[in-house]
Amino acid sequence: MSFLEINDLKVHFPIRGGFFNTIQEYVYAVDGVTFFIEEGKTYGLIGESGSGKTTIGKAIVGLEEPTGGEILYHDKPLGSRRARKKVGYNKEVQMIFQDVLSSLDPKKRIRDIIAEPIRNHEKLTDEEELEKILTLLNIVGMPPDALYRYPHEFSGGQRQRIGVARAVALNPKLIVADEPVSALDLSVQAQILNFLKKIQKDFNLSYLFISHDLGVVKHMCDYIYIMHRGRFVETGTRDDIYNNPQHIYTKRLIAAIPEINAENREEIYKNRIKVEQEYREKESIFYDKNGKVFDLVQISGTHYVAIKSKEDLKNVENNIA
Ligand SMILES: Nc1ncnc2c1ncn2[C@@H]1O[C@H](COP(=O)(O)OP(=O)(O)OP(=O)(O)O)[C@@H](O)[C@H]1O
């Protein structure tokens, strides 16, 4: 059962300029995306820089106001900030960021950083609050003496754990994780991804996992939304996307996954060249003449791809190796 539905979400940013600082044009950061979030599942939102991923995440947590479409929480449209707080939405949907250092106030000790959402939403005595924070530190694998230290005294991986402790402090249902590991080195990335998986079970959490890297989300996500130019170009289960990619943009993302210590390097490079050729030959099937992404067409149970028409589907299918 989905508890969050995003219908035809649009976020357009005006660009102002000229002598009177009037609106000159718009950035169509998010231009009509529809999807849902179910309990305990992980959704990958993948796409290159500027494709609109963070804007979707921010719209979901209420940091960005949609220009169009709606977000339904338990079948009811999200209202004003006040209405969201009243139905507990602000507690249940949290966000963690890539640049965790700048999202943790450098002048505050860890105790106060983690306590912030608790103080905003719950009335606890000092003692109860301390106990809760110590439990949270324990859950994220941080020692109690972290309490009175400052963010700069910790490594990137430790800071991300502190960010997670703050995010789970209010028992959320959904965490929007915006590139949570891309600033970390590879071995720490794996640690944090495993840790996120572990606490998912403990808290029955759902994740909307934002990344530009299909390799990173390979083991995390149940369902994947591939984003390009403000819209979805392909959506499906992890298997649909990894085993049977259809959109040329998805194929390019998969071809770009770096293979560390790969023995078949030559094959990987040849495949990249093949995908690039296919992109040039078949671009018109995937984008209109203005470069806009087409609407999604269902190609199997859970698998949708944005192409010009159903007739072109055959054309695309013939292309599967
Ligand atoms: N406040 C804003 N005002 C104007 N344009 C914005 C604003 N925020 C984002 N944009 C633009 O909207 C588009 C989508 O940005 P967004 O940050 O959502 O992309 P992204 O896919 O998350 O990229 P990245 O991976 O680099 O974070 C970009 O062209 C960006 O420049």
- CB-ligand 1 contact for 55 (6 Å cutoff): yes
Across 160-164, 264-268, 313-317, least confident range = 313-317
Across 164-178, 275-289, 307-321, least confident range = 307-321
Residue 300 or 38, more confident:
38
Residues 151-174 pLDDT 10s: 999 988 888 889 888 988 988 999
Which whole number is the average pLDDT over 172-188? 87
- CB-ligand 1 contact for 231 (6 Å cutoff): no
- Which of 227, 230, 256, 225 is closest to 241 using CA atoms? 225
Each domain of the chain, given as residue ranges in start order, spans 40-60+83-235, 244-321
Q: Calculate the CA 284 to chain-centre distance.
A: 28
Q: Is 205 exposed, middle or buried (0-12, 13-18, 19+ CB in 10 A)?
A: buried
For the residues of 22-46, what is the DSSP string, one character each? EEEEEEEEEEEEEEEEETT-EEEEE
Q: Calculate the CA 230 to chain-centre distance.
A: 14
How confident is the model at residue 27, as a pLDDT?
A: 93
Residue 103 is encoded by which pair of tokens? 């999202």
> Does 115 have pLDDT greater than 60?
yes
Ligand 1: which residue has its CA nearest to atom 16?
Answer: 52
> Does 259 have pLDDT greater than 80?
no
Q: Are 224 and 237 in contact (CB under 8 A)?
A: yes
How confident is the model at residue 229, as a pLDDT?
A: 94
CB atoms within 10 A of CB 256: 15
- CB-ligand 1 contact for 226 (6 Å cutoff): no
According to DSSP, the β-strands at 93-96 and 76-77 are unpaired
Long-range contacts made by residues 249-256, C-beta under 8 angstroms, separation at least 24?
A: 249/286, 250/226, 251/275, 251/278, 251/279, 252/276, 252/279, 253/46, 253/214, 253/226, 254/214, 256/214
Residue 221 is encoded by which pair of tokens? 């996500």
Cα–Cα dist 77/87, whole Å? 11
Ligand 1: which residue has its CA nearest to atom 31?
Answer: 50
What is the CA(54)–ligand 1 centre distance, in A? 7
- CB-ligand 1 contact for 57 (6 Å cutoff): no
> Does 320 have pLDDT greater than 50?
no
Question: What's the whole-model pTM score?
Answer: 0.89
Of all atoms in ligand 1, which is nearest to the CA of residue 210? 22
Q: How far is CA 37 from CA 18, 34, 154, 209, 298, in A?
A: 42, 11, 33, 12, 19
In CATH terms, is domain 40-60+83-235 a member of 2.60.40.10? no
Q: Which amino acid is at 316?
A: V
What is the CA(154)–ligand 1 centre distance, in A? 29
> Does 321 have pLDDT greater than 60?
no
- CB-ligand 1 contact for 29 (6 Å cutoff): yes
Q: How far is CA 294 from CA 32, 180, 250, 308, in A?
A: 11, 30, 14, 6
Which whole number is the average pLDDT over 98-124? 87
What is the CA(13)–ligand 1 centre distance, in A? 9
Strand arrangement, sheet containing 42-46: 93-96, 174-178, 206-211, 42-46, 223-228, 231-237, 303-306, 296-300
Torsion, Cα of 99, 103, 108, 109 (10° steps): -60
Residues 38-95 pLDDT 10s: 999 999 999 999 999 999 999 999 999 999 999 999 998 987 778 888 888 888 999 9
- CB-ligand 1 contact for 47 (6 Å cutoff): yes
Q: What percent of the chain has pLDDT over 70?
A: 96
